Amino acid sequence: FRGRMALDLRLSQVRTGVAWEEVSIMDEKNIPIRTYQVCNVMEPSQSNWLRTDWIPRSGAQRIYVEIKFTLRDCNSLPGVTGTCKETFNLYYYESNNDREHYIRESNFLKIDTVAADESFTQVDIGDRIMKLNTEVRNVKVTTRKGFYLAFQDVGACIALISVRVFYKTCPLSIRNLATFPDTNTGADTSSLVEVRGSCVNQSEEREEPKMYCGADGEWLVPIGGCVCNPGYEEKGGACQALLTSADISKCCTETQPKTPNKPPSAPQQLISEVNETSVVLEWSAPLRLGGRTDIRYKAGSLGDVLFSPQQSGLGATRVCVSELQAHTRYTFTIGARNGVSQGHTARARESVSVTLTTNQAAPSPVTSIQASDVTRHDVSLAWQQPDRANGVILEYEVKYYEKNQKERSYRIMKTASRSADITGLNPLTVYVFHVRARTAAGYGEFSAPFEFSTNSDPLPLIGNAANSTLLLLSISGGVVLLLISTTVFIISHRRGQYSKAKQDLEEEKHLNPGVRIYVDPFTYEDPDQAVHEFAKEIDASNIHIEKVIGIGEFGEVCSGCLRLQGKREIYVAIKSLKAGYTDKQRRDFLSEASIMGQFDHPNIIRLEGVVTRCKPVMIITEYMENGSLNTFLRKHDGQFTVIQLVGMLRGIVSGMKYLSDMSYVHRDLAARNILVNSNLVCKVSDFGLSRVLEDESEAAYTTQIPIRWTAPEAIAYRKFTPASDTWSYGVVMWEVMSYGERPYWDMSNQDVIKAIDEGYRLPPPMDCPVCLHQLMLDCWQRDRIHRPSFTQILNILDKLIRNPTTTLRRTGGERPVPTLLEPVGGPEFVSVWSVEYWLQAIGMDMYRDTLTAAGYTSPDSLLTLTQQDMASIGIVTPSHQDQILASVQQVLLSHMQQIEEQMQDSMVPV
Ligand code: ACK
């Protein structure tokens, strides 16, 4: 099978007499299979090794190991507390020797600790049910001709069912009349292998043809190409001789060409890899290509599933299918087509199919833990149901321990509800809590740590609805921020009150900035005069520096506290100018404060003031708990919902609209220059001017431009305008949707410039809705007048977030699923929001008056609804709160989908 070295591994025991045993068992379909098993759970300190024979590397640089295994849940084994484990370790050892008899254990390098997504338990009737886990790990192997793999058991009850080892290649491909050979992917998960193509027959190089082979086996960024020689024309990726008049007359007399092109035969060797509720399908090219090279594949399945990179027109022999239901049977078909295939769908003889069952999936992590009624010994915790429960939640488990004890000793409490009263705590002690949910599929992951300190009072200090709850920001995927000291609590509480309505109000203030235009501080003769015009001088004694948090262009960035007379102490970021600066450096450094001080918007970093009268010179700004956006997203890869990501993008564009309304052009908009606070609010920062004014000579200037983020006209002839900021905004959208991936990966700046010039644009990041990618493409229009303005982008994102009040084309005439959009009349339904209809559809109409009276009359207003909000207006039953919140989510998602469908209909490829 192309792209894989599929191996049936023979496992051999490193030492005889150890715990692993070769055992034959029956699989779910009652077919006998051979397994390796170990189950030494009663004795402590186990270390039982099992290793494979030598595996040749065959030129691969990164290998993938897929392990299928079952693992027994320790809770189901009586009397094994403390000794029983639920993981094993995977190791490798590179070697040129294909027959090593003995390899010292310490020579093996660890790949990973492998845990089961599902462990199996003995059910009451004494009948064992076996649940299969599939885990894939990968590792770089570049130093020897081959390698050995080893499995170390540390006291678990495991059966290894199968081990598959493979590597990935980008398959032979023809682009721009150049052939690119079957190429092994690079050694690193982010590496791109640069490959030079060779011109097809009867063609010659127009510009050196190049492509990059990505780590996933996909070809990326074709550059250059070939052109057909005179007398030949391009057809289906090849150069064919132009017909002479003699040919034409001959052709006209013949009824059939001698060797007509045909549709391809079916793709071969379709294999599937199930990972919980997603599947990767891979296949090989058809045996017969029908005499053509323009083969494309189309994947098919019943039901609502998501294909990526796309469902049809696939050039590569691989597709990922996600959003499948847990534990459900699916049939997938892959059809092959070429330019002479008839109709829209592949016929049976042109397709191949596979049927499989998805795994059960454990629930996603619990989010939004809140603490209330904190006393010296007790606390009440409450949390929300996981975003994806993937089944009925049977119970929750709360694990907690004293922070300074780490996890050396912890306590576990189980509860069927979404709350728990924890008692018997020590006073004035910081505790760490984690909560996880369990369904029939097993436990989900624990939530991120939630910390708080008990106090010294016997009665709750914080316990009433108005100012009681330690509200932690809920991030789907379970990132919860830590709140420890009272000071932090106060700040966080203030920000916790952040609401959309309030933000709207604040934004409204800025809707009409009138004639206020940004003033370039360099127009002032005396730079200090500019600073003092726009920034407040702060006395250094009011600043208390706590720690260094980073390095900026001019010196350290610290965090600390600022206490101004008559005001509450606030947490701030402090940028300082390093010693030994020149006058020019001081001026450039302070120019940022002069610029920032002119802005006042919720999505622009706020200047608190400057220290210029003593050293070091400092700029004080509001503190952003989550630091810069690119680092933050990388840390939380895959943990946010699309709506949360779009929420961040909305904030950024709102700030950019404000800047462009003030005629300020940022010139360096990038995720690294956006800061994120604890409420996930994104703010534009970095208004340094040095990059603009540094050196006016063209060459020096170009080296300072952040090429990957900058519009072509700004690179080529320094045309910086709001439209060039729009281009950069498109790149920021891409960074956000790809969780901080580097734009254009590790391509060189020169290649980026060339690729952009040739019309190449960044592809949609994984799981990125089509409509958002379309918006990025709009921001990257070559002609800047065709790019959307920030006002337009803001409107589009708002439309995506809000429930539609505009016409949305639906695909059929069926009644809506209870996604709660009321259809009214006509074949082209107009979806109208009605709170009444929505509540009725989810059986919650008893809250109609309550919600309406509190101002929740539009889906927009519901966007920020939290459990606290509901509790405060009298919706107190947890199950009702859950139902309402889940439904709000559903409305938003269904809306995103509908917009996506609509955009797909009208999409024009670039
Ligand atoms: O990614 P980070 O943690 O966020 O590292 C950089 C570092 O300082 C150098 O710029 C952080 N930083 C800058 N300004 C602020 C701020 N206002 N609040 C919090 N962190 C900041 C930035």
| 75-130 pLDDT tens trace | 877 777 778 888 999 999 999 998 888 888 899 999 999 987 765 543 332 345 55
End-of-domain residue from the set 439, 454, 469: 454
State the Cα–Cα distance between residues 261 and 465, nearest whole angstrom. Answer: 75
Alpha carbon of 381 to those of 287, 369, 540, 697: distances in Å?
Answer: 62, 7, 41, 62
> Reduced to 3 states, what is the DSSP secondary structure of residue 278?
strand
Judged against a pLDDT cut of 50, whether residue 807 lies above it is answered with: no
HSE of 682, CA atoms in CB hemisphere, 13 A: 28
Q: What does DSSP say about strands 379-384 and 32-39: parallel, antiparallel, or unpaired?
A: unpaired
Which CATH number belongs to the domain containing residue 196 in this structure?
Answer: 2.60.40.1770
- Closest by alpha carbon to 734, among 651, 643, 645? 645
CA-proximal residue: ligand 1, atom 5 (nearest):
550
- Closest by alpha carbon to 74, among 62, 63, 65, 86? 86
State the Cα–Cα distance between residues 669 and 654, nearest whole angstrom. Answer: 13
Residue type, 20: W
How far does residue 624's CA lie from ligand 1's centre (Å)? 7
For 222-268, the three-class secondary structure string (H helix, E strand, C coil) is EEEEEEECCCEEEECCEEEECCCHHHHHHHHHCCCCCCCCCCCCCCE
Token digits for 130? 């076996």
Cβ-proximal residues to 688 (8 Å cutoff; 6+ apart), any chain: 553, 588, 591, 592, 668
Of 108 and 424, the structure prediction assigns the larger pLDDT to 108
Judged against a pLDDT cut of 80, whether residue 501 lies above it is answered with: no
The verdict on 102 and 152 lying in the same domain is: yes
Token digits for 303? 């039901």
State the Cα–Cα distance between residues 441 and 362, nearest whole angstrom. Answer: 5
Whether 593 is covered by a domain: the verdict is yes
How far does residue 627's CA lie from ligand 1's centre (Å)? 5
CA-proximal residue: ligand 1, atom 19 (nearest):
624
Whether 9 is covered by a domain: the verdict is yes
The verdict on 769 and 842 lying in the same domain is: no
CA-proximal residue: ligand 1, atom 21 (nearest):
627
The verdict on 774 and 714 lying in the same domain is: yes
Whether 500 is covered by a domain: the verdict is no
State the Cα–Cα distance between residues 564 and 776, nearest whole angstrom. Answer: 43
Which CATH number belongs to the domain containing residue 75 in this structure?
Answer: 2.60.120.260
State the Cα–Cα distance between residues 733 and 652, nearest whole angstrom. Answer: 9
State the Cα–Cα distance between residues 170 and 272, nearest whole angstrom. Answer: 18
CA-proximal residue: ligand 1, atom 9 (nearest):
550
State the Cα–Cα distance between residues 488 and 471, nearest whole angstrom. Answer: 12
Lowest pLDDT segment from 82-96, 153-167, 833-847: 833-847
* pLDDT the model gives residue 127: 42
H helical segments located in 516-641: 527-534, 583-596, 629-635
**In the predicted model, what is the mean pLDDT of residues 355-360?**
77
Whether 235 is covered by a domain: the verdict is yes
The H-or-E segment that residue 556 falls in is: strand 556-562
**Which of 618, 619, 628 should be mutated for ligand 1, with most atoms under 8 A from CB?**
628
Token digits for 537? 């001088």
Percent of the chain having pLDDT more than 90? 30
* pLDDT the model gives residue 248: 53
CA dihedral in degrees (733, 735, 736, 741; nearest 10)?
A: 160
**Which of 675, 676, 682, 686 should be mutated for ligand 1, with most atoms under 8 A from CB?**
675
Question: Beta-carbon neighbour count of residue 767 at 10 Å?
Answer: 16
How far does residue 669's CA lie from ligand 1's centre (Å)? 15
Token digits for 368? 């939004």
Percent of the chain having pLDDT more than 70? 78
How far does residue 634's CA lie from ligand 1's centre (Å)? 15
How far does residue 628's CA lie from ligand 1's centre (Å)? 6
The verdict on 778 and 712 lying in the same domain is: yes
CA-proximal residue: ligand 1, atom 7 (nearest):
550
The verdict on 716 and 845 lying in the same domain is: no
Task: Return the residue matching tokens 């939004």.
Answer: 368
Judged against a pLDDT cut of 70, whether residue 470 lies above it is answered with: no
Local confidence band at 398 (pLDDT 50, 70, 90 cut-offs):
very high
> Among the atoms of ligand 1, which is closest to the Cα of residue 549?
8
Please state the length of the chain.
Answer: 910
**Helix, strand, coil shares of the chain as percentages rounded to 5?**
25, 30, 45
- Closest by alpha carbon to 808, among 896, 887, 908, 909? 896
> Among the atoms of ligand 1, which is closest to the Cα of residue 605?
17
Which CATH number belongs to the domain containing residue 530 in this structure?
Answer: 3.30.200.20
How far does residue 550's CA lie from ligand 1's centre (Å)? 6
Which CATH number belongs to the domain containing residue 354 in this structure?
Answer: 2.60.40.10
The verdict on 444 and 409 lying in the same domain is: yes
Residue type, 466: A
Of 214 and 482, the structure prediction assigns the larger pLDDT to 214
* pLDDT the model gives residue 232: 87
State the Cα–Cα distance between residues 686 and 352, nearest whole angstrom. Answer: 54
Local confidence band at 461 (pLDDT 50, 70, 90 cut-offs):
very low
Structure letter (DSSP) for residue 417? S
State the Cα–Cα distance between residues 41 and 46, nearest whole angstrom. Answer: 8
Residues placed in the known binding site for ATP = 549-557, 575
State the Cα–Cα distance between residues 708 and 735, nearest whole angstrom. Answer: 11
Strand order in the sheet with 351-357: 296-301, 329-337, 351-357
Alpha carbon of 152 to those of 38, 39, 156: distances in Å?
Answer: 10, 12, 10
How far does residue 557's CA lie from ligand 1's centre (Å)? 7
How far does residue 678's CA lie from ligand 1's centre (Å)? 13
Task: Return the residue matching tokens 């199996």.
Answer: 120
Token digits for 787? 């790019």
Lowest pLDDT segment from 299-313, 340-354, 450-464, 586-600: 450-464
Residues placed in the known binding site = 549-557, 575
The verdict on 34 and 179 lying in the same domain is: no
How far does residue 26's CA lie from ligand 1's centre (Å)? 57
Question: Beta-carbon neighbour count of residue 811 at 10 Å?
Answer: 8
Q: What does DSSP say about strands 367-372 and 379-384: parallel, antiparallel, or unpaired?
A: antiparallel
The verdict on 41 and 83 lying in the same domain is: yes
**Which of 549, 577, 621 should be mutated for ligand 1, with most atoms under 8 A from CB?**
549
> Among the atoms of ligand 1, which is closest to the Cα of residue 624?
18
Lowest pLDDT segment from 289-303, 506-520, 540-554: 506-520
Alpha carbon of 903 to those of 311, 788, 821, 909: distances in Å?
Answer: 16, 16, 19, 12
> Reduced to 3 states, what is the DSSP secondary structure of residue 634?
helix
Average pLDDT of the chain is 77
Judged against a pLDDT cut of 90, whether residue 676 lies above it is answered with: yes
**In the predicted model, what is the mean pLDDT of residues 356-372?**
82
- Closest by alpha carbon to 787, among 773, 795, 776, 798? 776
> Reduced to 3 states, what is the DSSP secondary structure of residue 279?
strand
Whether 749 is covered by a domain: the verdict is yes
How far does residue 788's CA lie from ligand 1's centre (Å)? 30
Token digits for 309? 């990179």
Range with the largest mean pLDDT of 151-160, 339-348, 442-451: 151-160
- Please give the positions annotated as active site: 668
Token digits for 371? 């603490």
> Among the atoms of ligand 1, which is closest to the Cα of residue 672?
1
Which CATH number belongs to the domain containing residue 631 in this structure?
Answer: 1.10.510.10
> Among the atoms of ligand 1, which is closest to the Cα of residue 550?
7
Local confidence band at 565 (pLDDT 50, 70, 90 cut-offs):
confident
Task: Return the residue matching tokens 């959208």.
Answer: 733
Q: Are 683 and 624 in contact (CB under 8 A)?
A: yes
> Among the atoms of ligand 1, which is closest to the Cα of residue 631?
1
Whether 848 is covered by a domain: the verdict is yes
The verdict on 337 and 397 lying in the same domain is: no
CA-proximal residue: ligand 1, atom 10 (nearest):
552
End-of-domain residue from the set 323, 358, 393: 358
Structurally, how many domains does the chain consist of?
7
> Following DSSP, what letter does each residue of 736-768 receive, concatenated?
HHTTSPPTTTT--HHHHHHHHHTT--PPPPTT-
* pLDDT the model gives residue 708: 96
The verdict on 591 and 674 lying in the same domain is: no
CA-proximal residue: ligand 1, atom 8 (nearest):
550
Query: What pTM was estimated for this model as a whole?
Result: 0.44
Cβ-proximal residues to 32 (8 Å cutoff; 6+ apart), any chain: 24, 25, 26
H helical segments located in 662-721: 690-693, 698-704, 712-717
> Among the atoms of ligand 1, which is closest to the Cα of residue 632?
1
Alpha carbon of 783 to those of 154, 726, 907, 910: distances in Å?
Answer: 62, 12, 19, 13
Cβ-proximal residues to 909 (8 Å cutoff; 6+ apart), any chain: none
Local confidence band at 804 (pLDDT 50, 70, 90 cut-offs):
very low
Ligand 1 binding site (Cβ under 6 Å of any ligand atom): 549-552, 557, 573, 605, 621, 623-624, 627-628, 631, 675
Token digits for 905? 């209909």
Q: Which residue range forms the structural domain that includes residue 297? A: 267-358
Token digits for 590? 């302070």
Structure letter (DSSP) for residue 554? S
Whether 491 is covered by a domain: the verdict is no
The verdict on 313 and 387 lying in the same domain is: no
State the Cα–Cα distance between residues 523 and 513, nearest whole angstrom. Answer: 22
State the Cα–Cα distance between residues 894 and 106, nearest whole angstrom. Answer: 53
CA-proximal residue: ligand 1, atom 6 (nearest):
550
Whether 817 is covered by a domain: the verdict is no
How far does residue 558's CA lie from ligand 1's centre (Å)? 8
**In the predicted model, what is the mean pLDDT of residues 252-266?**
64
The verdict on 51 and 77 lying in the same domain is: yes
**Which class for 515: exposed (0-12), middle (13-18), buried (19 or more C-beta within 10 A)?**
exposed
State the Cα–Cα distance between residues 772 and 907, nearest whole angstrom. Answer: 12
CA-proximal residue: ligand 1, atom 15 (nearest):
573
Looking at the DSSP bridge assignments, the partners of residue 155 are none
**In the predicted model, what is the mean pLDDT of residues 359-370?**
82
Task: Return the residue matching tokens 């622009």.
Answer: 604
> Among the atoms of ligand 1, which is closest to the Cα of residue 621?
17
Task: Return the residue matching tokens 């003889």.
Answer: 349
